[in-house]
Amino acid sequence: MNGLKSVCILGLVLLSLAAFASSEDKQIVGGSSQLEGDQRKEALDLLNATLDQLATGNGPSYKAINVTSVTGQTVSGRLNTYEVELENGSDKKQCTVKIWTQPWLQKDGTNIKIKCTGDDGEVDSTW
């Protein structure tokens, strides 16, 4: 009887491990995931367009130089988080940029937050 219990427990452990391994490639609803391929390209296009839009208002004129990481998360809309080196004239900074888009909103459908290493405050703009 102990042998049967051991085999059943071993089987459950192996089944659990197999289920966990197969679920690693799937995105968890509401969870963030690294963007690759076309999704990464679309996210980078959004970053550049949003930085351009920010520069037309009262915001700084940042340009993305080197993007080291892009994650995406489905929330009430889409939240992309970028680890990026930004340039503002001759000033270069390592920053975290978060862009939250809600394209169905006519007003205030895009929010950008930029927090740079060494800066006390952050840029927070919505349009």
**pLDDT tens profile 83-99:** 999 999 999 999 999 99
Which stretches of the chain are assigned E, i.e. beta strand?
32-34, 63-75, 77-88, 91-101, 110-116, 123-126
Confidence of residue 20 (pLDDT cuts 50, 70, 90): very low
In this predicted structure, the answer to whether residue 115 has a pLDDT above a threshold of 80 is yes
What is the spatial distance between Cα 65 and Cα 120, in angstroms, rounded to a whole number? 22
Residue 40 phi, psi dihedral angles, 5° rounding: -65, -45
What is the spatial distance between Cα 73 and Cα 69, in angstroms, rounded to a whole number? 13
What is the spatial distance between Cα 86 and Cα 111, in angstroms, rounded to a whole number? 18
Residues 6+ apart with CB under 8 A from 12: none
* 41-57 pLDDT tens trace: 999 999 999 999 999 99
